[in-house]
């Protein structure tokens, strides 16, 4: 509630866990309403997909045994933009 004299909520997320492993997350479908700069709204999840907090080339298959599956990168070289977005790659389970 910025109007009540409180600072807006800001969420920060590290790219790695304390032991150095990369973060992973379920791939979520979300976007802001058309023609607005408003808050993104979540619509669901992409099954058998995950986001990884690092930049991988398209068609990368180096993640071979996470959650019992081999994985295939479907996005390419997302390095993020300084202070705006974080790096990340969308992977889909194969096999």
The region of weakest confidence among 7-11, 32-36, 65-69, 85-89 is 7-11
- At residue 45, φ and ψ (nearest 5 deg) are -120, 155
> What six digits make up the tokens of 6?
């409180």
pLDDT tens digits, one per residue of 40-93: 788 888 889 998 888 889 899 998 888 888 999 998 877 877 666 778 888 999
| CB of 78 closer than 8 Å to CB of 55 | yes
Taking 70 as the threshold, does the pLDDT of residue 3 lie above it?
no
Q: What is the dihedral of CA 90, 52, 45, 1, to 10 degrees?
A: -120
**Per-residue pLDDT, 1:** 39
Taking 70 as the threshold, does the pLDDT of residue 7 lie above it?
no
Q: What global pTM score does this model have?
A: 0.68
């Amino acid at each position: 509630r910025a109007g009540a004299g409180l600072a807006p909520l800001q969420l920060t997320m590290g790219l790695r866990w304390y032991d150095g492993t990369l973060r992973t997350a379920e791939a979520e479908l979300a976007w802001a309403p058309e023609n607005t700069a408003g808050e993104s709204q979540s619509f669901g999840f992409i099954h058998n997909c995950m986001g990884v907090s690092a930049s991988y080339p398209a068609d990368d298959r180096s993640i071979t045994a996470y959650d019992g599956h081999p994985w295939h990168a479907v996005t390419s070289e997302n390095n993020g933009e300084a202070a705006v977005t974080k790096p990340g790659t969308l992977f889909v389970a194969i096999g």
